A and B are shown apart, each in its own frame.
Chain A
Amino acid sequence: MRLASAGLLAVAAALLASCATPQRDYRPDALTMMKRDFHARGIAKMDRLDEDNVQAVCNKYRDDPPQGVADKLQKEQLAAIKWPADGKLLGDWKAGERIAQNGRGMMWSDKSGDGGSCYNCHQIGPRESSFGTIGPSLYQFAKLRGYGADIQRYAYGKIYNAKAYSLCSQMPRFGHVGALTEQQMKDLTALLMDPASPVNQ
């Protein structure tokens, strides 16, 4: 009798404990562990483990930050975009296609930024059937949205810094982190925007 009730109490206590303990945040443990266990290799230095202000907010809110927080940061990211000094946003779509196909860049096995990895996540040109689906289809990008200056600017800006438009987007900030050069981003913009690009056929 006594034993049984002691057992019950123990169970109740355990239940209480599990309910009452607020979900502990293990992110600090994770970061401590990673900083101890990782090492720099090639171009991938240890500072890559540190969150910047955008990553910190997205991590904290699991990619769903409060509107106000997101708006403020998005504005900052947008303001930091360096637009081409010559005012031209369109390069060579053929070069853009090559950059879109190239999945290399910024890995410890790479020397620098290199490709845009675009086909990893997006459908783009009609002739490449091996495309990913993490991002939306970009096939007929300008044909559907228009060829105007505002759309050009959006395309270039999105490639430069996707977080300026959607704070916790899964798309990298190619210009912001220096993974692609201005010319490469112009070429990619042309791939999406040039009326002669197969994307718009």
Chain B
Amino acid sequence: MHQTRRTVTMGLLAVLGAALLGPARALAAWNKGAFEAKSAPDAMRALGVSNAEESKAIEIRAPEIAENGAVVPIDITSNIPSTTSISVFIEKNPFPYTGTFDFSQGSVPYVHLRVKIGESSPVRVVAAAGGKYYTSAKEVKVTIGGCGG
């Protein structure tokens, strides 16, 4: 009984919280302008990201040298309290903005994804937390591989 009520309350709080923090990102449209931007700064502008502060609390796990640029695994964790979303930019890709992952409605600020990286490039991550932006980057090298496999 207690348990149920608490869950309901928390659920309500979550909904309220989401409402207070502005429109839930999940309801927003896929940001065409940001996705079609040809540089990471342009994409960030289109997303309204500004004054992102360098942070060591964003962990990016990606290979230093990718075996194959067509499939580069990336693990991202934000240890910044109340992180609501994480956005990924592969700076040297023709369209750097790769995606935004929204955790605000009930998930841990962690995501694993696999991406195409055309040439050696920094992978930049921007975390949104408490109305502010934090950022960190990791360089991934892409080389020519062998013929076999």
| Interface residue B22 (Cβ < 8 Å from any Cβ of A) | no
Q: Which of B119-149 contact A (CB under 8 A)?
A: 143-147
Using an 8 Å CB-CB cutoff, how does the interface string of A96-133 with B read, 1 for contact, 0 for none? 00000001000000000000000010000000011010
Q: How large is the interface on A (under 10, 10 to 19, 20 to 34, 35 or more residues)?
A: under 10
Q: Are A120 and B147 in contact (CB under 8 A)?
A: yes
A120 to B144, CA, bound (A): 10
Q: Are A132 and B143 in contact (CB under 8 A)?
A: no
Contacts of A120 in B (CB 8 A): 146-147
**Least Cβ–Cβ distance between B149 and chain A, in angstroms:** 14
Contacts of A132 in B (CB 8 A): 146
Number of A-B contacts (CB under 8 A): 8
**Least Cβ–Cβ distance between A143 and chain B, in angstroms:** 25
Contacts of B147 in A (CB 8 A): 103, 120
Contacts of B146 in A (CB 8 A): 120, 132
Contacts of B144 in A (CB 8 A): 130
A116 to B145, CA, bound (A): 16
The size of the chain B interface, using a CB distance under 8 A, is: 5
**Least Cβ–Cβ distance between B59 and chain A, in angstroms:** 28
Q: Which residue of B lies closest to A132 (CB)?
A: B146
Q: Which of B5-52 contact A (CB under 8 A)?
A: none
Q: Which of B61-84 contact A (CB under 8 A)?
A: none
Residue of B143, B144, B145 with highest tally of chain A CB at under 10 A: B144
A103 to B146, CA, bound (A): 10
Contacts of A103 in B (CB 8 A): 147
A130 to B145, CA, bound (A): 7
A130 to B147, CA, bound (A): 12
A120 to B147, CA, bound (A): 9
**Least Cβ–Cβ distance between B57 and chain A, in angstroms:** 33
Q: Which residue of A lies closest to B147 (CB)?
A: A103
Q: Which of A127-148 contact B (CB under 8 A)?
A: 129-130, 132
A35 to B48, CA, bound (A): 66
Contacts of B145 in A (CB 8 A): 130
A132 to B143, CA, bound (A): 13
A110 to B144, CA, bound (A): 20
A58 to B125, CA, bound (A): 57
Q: Which residue of A lies closest to B145 (CB)?
A: A130
A129 to B146, CA, bound (A): 12
Q: Which residue of B lies closest to A131 (CB)?
A: B144
Contacts of A130 in B (CB 8 A): 143-145
**Least Cβ–Cβ distance between B101 and chain A, in angstroms:** 33
A51 to B117, CA, bound (A): 44
A120 to B145, CA, bound (A): 10
A129 to B147, CA, bound (A): 16
Residue pairs across A and B with Cβ atoms less than 8 A apart, 8 shown, are A103-B147, A120-B146, A120-B147, A129-B143, A130-B143, A130-B144, A130-B145, A132-B146
Question: What is the interface of chain A, defined by CB distance below 8 A to chain B?
Answer: 103, 120, 129-130, 132
Query: What 5 pairs between A and B have smallest CB-CB spacing?
Result: A130-B144, A130-B143, A103-B147, A129-B143, A120-B147
Question: What is the interface of chain B, defined by CB distance below 8 A to chain A?
Answer: 143-147
Knowing that A120-B147, A129-B143, A132-B146 touch, tell me 5 more A-B residue pairs with CB under 8 angstroms.
Answer: A103-B147, A120-B146, A130-B143, A130-B144, A130-B145
